Amino acid sequence: MTKKKPILKILQWILKISLSLLALYLVYKKIDRQILLSMVKEMNWPWLVPAFILFNISKVFSSIRLAGLLENVGIKIEHRDNLKLYYKGMFYNLFLPGGIGGDAYKTYILNKNSQVPLKKLVGTMLYDRVSGLIVLCLISLLLAFDVLNAYKIYTLVLAIVCIPAGYVFTLFIFPSHKKNFITSQFYSLLVQVSQIFAVVCILKALQVKFVAYFSYLLLFMVSSIAAVIPITIGGAGAREVVFLYGKKMIDVSAETGIAVGLIFFLITSMSSLIGIFLKYKPKD
């Protein structure tokens, strides 16, 4: 059994890479590659610096949110140590074979150095994702209300019930985290706002006109929801597919959207490399 596990993990990693490459291949067959190359050549590169900084600020907020949720199950961890663990998880999630996943890595380390049952830690890591997804859906619906004229009433109703529905879900499925619901949603909002401004900087780098910002931000939010599904490497391919087919509903440039997705993936990858240089040593 022990010999089969590494093989299975490597096969999962290979499958993720294959799906990412397949998605990217299908996307690039349907776009004008000359337009994409021209955009890259004319890009205003300095705007990528604040985009990188804002993305990493979002990760600081993510780590604070997780620290609060861990306290609910009896793990008190200093924010500096938690941030180190978070970046180590990002690195494992993106670069190492085996489909370990950042959440699985963090769960393993925390379980190894605490008396908290594995089941509680797994539930906490899962709720950390759910907490972020609730706000992600809310912002997507608000952007859709502005962009999609034909569906305003539906998006408005869904946006209104989004947070209450999230609380009811928390109450019944993750009751141990109900007291942290407002706090976790607040930090989830800071995470998404930071990433929205990071994408705005990317759009500035690509010299996109302001009038189109909300349309691209809507597709980015939807692509972020798609990227949560762990079938590709860091969402590579999944985001680009959303931008490609989202063009059918929203009048935007598929090439620009795909450029946004690729640049965001590169920023994610560069940020994840920080995890190589950080050492997490839990205090006794």
The rounded mean pLDDT for the chain is 82
Neighbouring C-beta atoms of residue 174, cutoff 10 Å:
19
Residue 209, sorted as left (phi over 0), alpha (psi -120 to 50) or beta, turns out to be: beta
The Cα-based distances of 108 to 69, 96, 120, 138 in angstroms read 16, 16, 12, 31
pLDDT in tens, 94-116: 765 444 467 778 888 888 888 88
pLDDT tens readout for residues 244-259: 666 667 777 877 888 8
How many angstroms separate the Cα of 186 from the Cα of each of 65, 209, 227, 233? 9, 30, 22, 28
Residue 21's pLDDT band, with cuts at 50, 70 and 90, is low
- What pTM was estimated for this model as a whole? 0.83
Residue 243 · residue 261 · CB < 8 Å: yes
Segments in the chain forming alpha helices (H): 4-29, 33-41, 48-72, 79-95, 102-112, 118-147, 152-173, 181-205, 213-228, 238-246, 254-272
Residue ranges of domains in the chain? 4-271
Of 122, 208, 126, 134, the residue nearest 168 (C-alpha): 134
Q: Looking at residue 81, what is its pLDDT? A: 87
**CA–CA separation, 235 and 232 (whole Å):** 5
Predicted confidence band at 238 (pLDDT cuts at 50, 70, 90)? low
Please give the C-alpha separations between residue 29 and each of 32, 223, 255, 260, 264, in angstroms, as whole numbers. Answer: 8, 19, 12, 18, 21
Task: Report the distance separating Cα 180 and Cα 174, nearest Å.
Answer: 11
Q: What is the dihedral of CA 102, 227, 266, 49, to 10 degrees?
A: -100
What number is the average pLDDT over the span 267-281? 81
